[in-house]
Structure 1
Amino acid sequence: METVNIDIVSDVVCPWCYLGKNRLDQAIANVAGEINVAIQWRPYQLNPDLPPEGIDHKEHLAAKLGGQAAVDEAHRTLEGLGVEDGIAFDFDAVKVSPNTLDAHRLIRWAATGGEAAQDAVVSLLFKANFEEGRNLGDQAVLLDIAEQAGLERPVIAALLASDADKDAVRQEIDMAREIGVTGVPCFIIEQQYAVMGAQSVEVLTSALREIAQMKAEHPAH
């Protein structure tokens, strides 16, 4: 089987990224047995200037989207899409818009435990924020998620208490912007093809099959 490598540029407070992950998971299930898919999660911050303690979510979103009516409309749309994709969005539960730098550091460290560990952390972060209303800027929340994903809680606690990998995460985000990533999710396939946005399961499935076929026919490229 061909292996298709995907770097996913994402922020854990982006609802479209949550939809995108679920749809990619479904696409991967569609090609199981014919294509291996290797995933690496890459950081992006929609709101890098937020303070470490975060800010009031409802006020922040209303200011960003141009008023409460626009927020309500966006939430209705996302809730409907969530039902289709198995996500129980609970936007009323979200109280804090966090700075996600520490969450991205956790995702980075999870990769040392393998792809499955990193994927588990990402899934738990999305669920904690969008379905449970937990504050992803709270290190206690991050530690609970790390432990739930099978990571060593004392090790992660020590890392979070330090400045470990803050600069590395910021550099990755800068690199994403330099190569033209202006919104998320962005699926970079084989470091050559970019699929922007939360595309449908059908589009993602087709992309995986087409690129796997190209790799099989032109292995040198």
Structure 2
Amino acid sequence: MERITIDVVSDVVCPWCYLGKARLELAIAEVQDEVGVTVNWRPYRLDPDATSDGTDYRSHLIAKFGGAERLDQMQDTLREHGREIGVNFQFENIKVRANTLDAHRLLHWARIEGNELQDRVATALFKAHFEDGLNIADHGVLVQIGEASGLDPAVIGALLASDADKDTVLEEIESAQKMGVNGVPFLIFDGQYAVSGAREPDVVASALRDIANMKAEARKGMI
């Protein structure tokens, strides 16, 4: 069985990224007997100007998207897509426009402990923001998410109180932008092939099969 690594460039306040995560999981489940998949969550910030204590979420989006009616239409579309695959968007619960740098630091530390743990943290961050309306810039919230996912809360609290790995996360974001990433989610397969957007599971599954077949053929040519 061929193995493929997917680097998912995303932001945890991006609704299409939450939708894309659920779709990616369905795609991986579809090919689990054909292709082995490792997923790394990579940082991106859609709203780097957001503050650590947060400002009003809805007012910001109304201004960004040109009115309440347009925003409501977009969010209704996301709710509909989410219901199809078990994502329960609760936009009305979100009060804070949160800076996500510290959330990405938490994901970085989780990845050091393993991909599965990082994936749990990613899911918890998306759920905390989009379903529970929690401020994911708040260190107390991040410590709780880390602990519930399997990280040491004392260690995470101490790291968050410092500047540990801020530069690392910002450098990763800059590298993604230099690669041409200007929107998320953005999936990079084996560092060579890319798919942008929250694609349907069958599209991602097909890409995984195609890349696995190419790797298998290349391996045969080396024998």
TM range (shorter): over 0.9
Matching residue's letter, 2:141: V
| 2:27 alignment partner, SS class | helix
SS, match of residue 218 in structure 1: helix
Aligned pairs for 1:1-221 (under 5 A) are 1-219=1-219
- Which residue identity is paired with 2:100? T
Superposed displacement of residue 33, structure 1: 1.9
Shift of 1:69: 0.7
* 1:152-211, Cα deviation, whole Å (9 max, x unpaired): 000000100000000110010011000000100000001111100000011001001000
Partner Cα distance (2:136, 2:183) in 1: 20
> How big is each residue's C-alpha offset from its partner over 1:82-134, in whole Å with a ceiling of 9 and x where there is no partner?
10011010000000010000000000000121111000000000011001111
CA distance in 1, matches of 2:194, 2:208: 12
Displacement, 1:51?
1.6
**Match for 1:136: what amino acid?**
I
Secondary structure (helix, strand or coil) at the match of 1:181 reads coil
Higher mean C-alpha deviation, range 71-80 or range 46-55: 46-55
d(CA) in 2 for partners of 1:32, 1:56: 42
1:63 and 1:201 mapped to 2: Cα distance? Answer: 32
Deviation of 1:52 after TM superposition, in Å, equals 1.4
Unaligned runs of 5+ in 1: none
Give the distance between the partners of 1:141 and 1:132, measured in 2 at CA.
11
The CA distance in 1 between the partners of 2:202 and 2:33, in whole Å, is 17
Moved over 4 A (4+): none
Cα deviation, residue 50, structure 1: 1.4
Q: Residue type matched to 2:59 in 1?
A: E
In structure 1, C-alpha distance between the alignment counterparts of 2:113 and 2:5, rounded to whole Å: 18
In 1, Cα distance between the equivalents of 2:14 and 2:213?
32
In 1: Cα distance, 2:75 partner to 2:7 partner? 27
SS of the aligned residue for 1:41 comes to strand
1:49 Cα deviation from its structure 2 partner? 1.4
With normalisation by structure 1, the TM-score equals 0.98
| Equivalenced residues, count | 221
